[in-house]
Chains A and B, each alone.
Chain A
C-alpha cells in the first residue's frame, strides 16, 4: 500500500477518535445528599393547653433560662417546658418535676404564680405545689412575634408545632454542575431555638418575686410583669394572677433582648443599645436614658451608680466586639444619653451579675469570671472557673450558673473565691 495512502488512513483514524468517543465525552456525576429531615408534629391549641401539667422529672435536653424562687430552681428547656429542682440543699439539688409548656422560652414568678410564654400566649400557672401545678389562665396573642418561631403553617392554623420527628435521609442529587463555594447553611428546629433563646438568668429582686437572670426577657416588679420581645416592651398587670391584663406596649425599635429590674427602673438590652426606663408609674414605663453601641448582643445589670453591659459577637448577635461597657447612671448627657465610663475587653461575654463590688461575668468558653468592680476603670479579676458559662444568678452568696455542660452552683466569698457546691449535668440528647 502506498505510504501517502497509509498515512491518510491513519490520520483519519486519529481524527475519528473525537467522533467515535464524542458521545462519551461528558462530565458524569453521581451525587448523594445526606441530611436529617425534620417533620413538625402539630397539636391543636386546645390540646396544648390541656397538656400543661406537672409530670415526672425528665432529662434536660436544651437548657434555656433559669429562675430562682424560694427553695426551687426552674430551668427552661427551650420550646418544651420547665424543669423544677428542689434546691433546699444547694449541694444536692433534686430534679422533682417537669412542667410541659410547648413553645416556652421565658418565665417569671410572683407569689405562687408562674408566668410563662406558650408560643404567642402568656400562661399563668399555680406552682404552690410544683409537682402538681394548676393552670390559672391565658392571655392570647401577647407575643405575636413568636408565631414564626413555633410556626403556624398553611393548613395548620390554630395549631402549633410541639415537636419534631427526624429521619436521617440520603437523597440522590444532580451534581453535574459544581456547587457554589459559598457557605450553605440549613436552618432547622434546633437552630431556631438556639438562636433566639440561648440562655438564662440573673439577680436583684427580692421575694415574693423570684429571681431571673440577665438574659431574661420576663421580669416582675411590684404587681407588674414586664416582657421584651424583639421590638416592644409590654407591661402586664398581674395583680390578679388568674387574669393577667396587658396594659401598655412601648416600641423599642428592633432587637430588644433582655430586661433587668433595679429599684424603680428597668434596664433593657437591645442589639443596638441599652435603654433605661422609669417605672414609678408601673403601668406606663417612661424612658429615662439610653446608651447606643455597635450591633451585638448585650445583657445588662445595674447597681446604684452603674449599668454593666456585655457586648458579644457571634450567632444572631452578628457584630464583632466582645467587651464589657460600664455606663454611668448618675449623669445624663444631652439627648438623654448615658455616658460610657469604661470599656474592658472580654472573650465572648454573655450573662452577668453584680453583688456589691463583685461582678460576675459569664465569658463563654473563657469561663465564669469574678471581678472586683469597686473601681470600674480598673477591674481586678479575682477568680475564674473553667466551664462554658452563659448566665448567672447571684443569691444568698451563691452563684447559680447555667453552662453548656450543666447547671452549677457555687458559694462565693467576699474576696471573690468560688467553691463548687453542685452540678446538674446536662447531656444534650436530641
Chain B
C-alpha cells in the first residue's frame, strides 16, 4: 500500500514541477501584456502609430496562455473559488467523497476539452491556418494551449481522484490534497 502511495506522491511532484514552469511562463505573459498595451497607448498618442499587432498577439497567445497555463496549478493551490460553506463543516471522509465527485466530473470535462482542442490544433497545424490580419499569426500556436492546459488539469484531477480513493480506502494522507485547505490566493472581489 505504501508503495502505491509512493507512486502517487512522485507523480504529484512531477506534475507540480511542470506546473511551476507553466506558472512562470504565465507570469511573464502577464508582464508582456502590460508592456504591450502601455506601449500601444504611447505609440498611438505620442508617435501616432499604434501597434497593429498588439490585439492579436495578446488575444491569441498571451491571454490564452495566462488562462490555460494557470488552470491546473490554480486547482492544485485551490485558487478556483467554490461555495465551500457545506464542504467546510463536512467530516474529512465526507470531504474526500465530495472531492471524488468533483474529480470524476472534472477529469471528464477537462479531458473532453483537451481532446477537442487537440483535434483542432492538429487540423490547424497540418493545414497551416493563419489569421486574417496585418500579421498572419498561425492559429495552431494558440489552439495548442487548450490541450496543454486543459490536459494538464485533467491529469491533475485524475491524480487527485486516485489519491482521494486511496485515502478513503486506507486512511493514507497526501500532503498535496490537504496542504491548501480553504481558499488559495485571495483578492478577487
A binds B: no
Hey, which bits of chain B sit against chain A, CB under 8 A? none
